Structure 1
Amino acid sequence: MEAYGRFDTGLTDVAPARAHLLRLREAGVGYKRAAELAGVSKTSVRNILYGRQGSGPRAGQVVHRVKRETSAAILAVPVETAALADGALVSAVGSQRRVQALVARGWSFTLIAQMLDEALGNFVTSIRTPHITARRHRAIVAVYERVWNVEPPTDTPTQRATRSRALNYAAAHRWLPPMAWDDIDTDPEPPVAEADTNDVDAAAVILALAGDAVRLSTPERRECVRRLTESGWSSSAIADLLRCTPRTVVRLRSELTNSASKTTQAA
């Protein structure tokens, strides 16, 4: 198909599919299982992850483009541990970050262990290992999703002291609060705050809104979120279009709301 003078090859940038496969692998889903879940060939998935296979002249070449339908099928496979057996081992990074974020919110280890219905010693030991069971990971995720935006109880002097100790402990260890991560399970490091600038490349915004894989600055992504939100898009739909996580969209929406509130108060 030819449109606007360009021939549509049916191919797309492989980067989103490769990143998704890496996330699946981190969650315990190997490339063979990922191929089965996506309904694509194992060779296609292996090529995306490890370069072209075989003994021909192109063996080992890094794949840069992939069929659009192959990419869409891979991206449709959910990154979750729900399908894993309770005893399967998964990376503990996401669980550790969630616990740290709750402590940075003021929740103590004792309270978190109680919500998990676990002995404090067993809980603390388990989150200090590189891998945990899928069952424990799911339990921590459930607790985190329930209270990440809830303050711990502070009705009594003891409760207030417990909260203060948790906050001080998190600060001393430089633990990050909820919403600090774009993807709390897979990000190698938290997003770096950019220089205080409102510079927005209008062309980049237009391309991103059209679905192109464009590298956006934070102000540009925020502008995309603003426009799409005003058009009635959901957080998950915006995240899919901009190739980020729904939590990133929620954070940017919160920033937009706070900015609008300050502007209204100033007026």
Structure 2
Amino acid sequence: MTRRREPPNHETLTCYTDYACRLPACRDRYNTWNRDRGQAISAGTWQPLVDAEPIRQHLIALDEAGITFHRVSVLTGLPYKSVRAFVHHDYGHAAPRRRRATPEVAAKILAIGFTDSGYVSPIGSERRFQALVAMGWPTLHTARRAGLHPSNRNTIFRAPSMRAATAQRIAVTYDEMRTQNPARHGVSAVSIKRAKAQAAERRWPDIAYWADRMDVIDDPDFEPLYGVTNRELVAQDANWVMRTSGLDRANAAARLGVSKSYIDHAFRDHPEYAVDTAA
């Protein structure tokens, strides 16, 4: 079970500062950073932010060479939205173009050369399509806006990778369309209703869900738990524990910190995850 299921991202400080996460490891990470910051300030060596203009110019040059913001995001591990913000303001919001950056972020971006345009995972593009469907946008409209051939709008996500330039076009289109009302752009009420019903049936995360999770929307190892109840989650985890460890329900329950009866009820409600054991 290697997937990161829900933000905050527990490898950065944002889970503590922005989401009030208080897991011991995250609290220790923040305290260590804060202590190091205080010592650096006292020593006169603290340099928290640098001018982002060199970053902007480098990103523009990379983009002109075919290395898109999306590809830079993949290569550096930085969120696409954060990378793009060095060159463009945020669509539909008051957030201006970023003019400062941490030295670490600057170093990651400036280290990108001009030889790797490459391919990226299609997962982020697929999630953007799905979120727009949940908003009422049929995939046909999104495909046309992104410059994709309508016949490819579903099959494009079945391949193991896609061109970074295509992924960036979809990301830009998503940023534009997520602030627009489909009814005001030629989508009929019937089509909007049908799109929303399709997204609800398939439990596709919507725009609001991804708004706070843009740092992981392109992460293939992140598993969104949109619309998943705690009982279903326990059923999934118990299924995995019992299959991989050979434990019975009682011991699996102890491993997961729940009662055996809770697992029994979880398997009853979600029989697709049920594992038959002697206990």
- TM-score bracket for this pair, using the shorter chain length: 0.3 to 0.5
TM-score normalised according to structure 2 size? 0.40
TM-score, reference length from structure 1? 0.41
**Structure of higher RCO (CA pairs closer than 8 Å, 6+ residues apart):** 2
